[in-house]
Structure 1
């Protein structure tokens, strides 16, 4: 029997449908002993699945009688031919290494004179996945060795988390801002020394963090860093909740302070429930500077925004991002 190596081009690929079919696509270019293409002719094919090696046990075989095209090409589907032996649908593709043996009769009969064997690589594993799919009921509780759930934690305004009370969350509900559950001071100046520009004029989400750094740097540069002031109180704050220490607090921007006021009822309730205190009906500092002498504040008695002199005393409530 002549070998197929020089006479046959073998191509095997999975036929893709909405559901995995129990068949494998197969293409071959048929040539005769003189290497000439055998075109527009009925030929006999016997396809067999072998386990373990090229000389392994035949576990399934079938026959086909296709007609080659003008280029000698035939396209078949293993699993749809006339069965000689075995059951294609019961092959456990994940249990072994498999090979496909091809035998050809150029006259269209069963007197096979050309043969060759090639290893099946990744193709059957889609079929293996289909078999696994059929085993699982679809009920998580039916699984053994259940995987750990990695469900994403989300948050809402009023939650007690990340060291404080949530007062804003982004669209993913995974990140946001929290405020401390207690006041950091009832009477603290914004600027410890003389008036001067800090250029801490940021306003909006997270801008208070940059403002805080600018204010502290300015105090250090003028040699007035020994006195306590609003930004420094927040910067040096350390709060421990559930054995986790949070130390990245800052003085909120005008915008962030307004977000707190908009959700004041929920924030106060959560703070008190978790051993904290409600916001006082009084004026709180923001970190947003207006001029060299004035800073934006918010009156929590009525929600009124205004600017006041930096060297007077107001309340402080720190925030952080998560």
Structure 2
């Protein structure tokens, strides 16, 4: 007979492809990424379904100040800038910013690199297969390339294109998560 000390279980190990906090984990932040904190797990989650298959990026002819971040970690700020600079309802960013899904209301339109990570990790470009259930269509990113265009990604082949903002394309919302 002896004394036993029961230790709390460690934080569960999360992996790309796991369902977590209302969506599918598609990226775990790494050293050098915006928002990375050593010793903590931060990442990005994609909604399990498309929010639209025919939304415009919006405000064709108007450059949106600040909505030009491309890197992982810039999609949320791009979306905030899009909402501030383009008040048209029903745009790609507006759909994401006003989404409540899985009890969460902090969804945003992914940046170009965030969208590419979705393609590579849970889309057609993934070793896991298309577990994100993406259609063979263009999806909007929150990365603007000018007054008349924004970046979109073809989720069939991973091709990035600058698309006219008044085109109707698909939308998949994402959100950030963290565990300590």
Q: CA deviation at 1:268?
A: 3.4
Q: Which whole-Å deviations, capped at 9, do the CAs of 1:201-229 have from their partners, x for residues lacking one?
A: 01111200000000000123xxxx3x311
Native 8 Å contact 2:26 2:117 kept in 1: yes
Q: Cα–Cα, structure 1 residues 228 and 267, in superposed 2: closer, same or farther, change >3 Å?
A: farther
- Per-residue CA distance 1:18-55 (angstroms, 9 max, x = gap): xxxxxxxxxxxxxxxxxxxxxxxxxxxxxxxxxxxxxx
Q: Tell me how far 1:195 sits from its aligned partner.
A: 1.6
Distance 2:117 2:78 in 1: 17
Q: Which residue of 2 aligns with 1:198?
A: 64
- Alignment partners' CA distance in 2, 1:187 and 1:289: 18
Q: What CA deviation, in whole Å up to 9, does each residue of 1:243-285 have, x standing for no partner?
A: xx1110000000000001111243733x5xxxxxx10011000
Matched, 1:302 2:157: yes
Q: Name the structure where strand makes up a greater proportion of residues.
A: 1
2:11 is the alignment partner of 1:152: yes
The answer as to 2:53 corresponding to 1:178 is: no
TM-score normalised by L of structure 2: 0.84
Which consecutive unaligned segments of at least 5 residues does structure 1 have? 1-134, 137-141, 272-277
- Provide the residue aligned with 1:169 in structure 2: 28
Distance across 2 between alignment mates of 1:267 and 1:162: 21
Secondary structure, counterpart of 1:246 in structure 2: coil
* TM-score, reference length from structure 1: 0.48
Alignment-derived partner of residue 257 in structure 1: 115
Cα distance in 1 between the residues matched to 2:21 and 2:166: 32
Superposition RMSD in Å: 1.9
- Runs of 4+ with deviation above 2 angstroms: 170-174, 265-269
Work out whether residues 167 and 267 of structure 1, in 8 Å CA contact, stay in contact via their aligned partners in 2: no
Give the Å deviation of 1:153: 2.5
- From the CA coordinates, give the structure whose radius of gyration is larger: 1
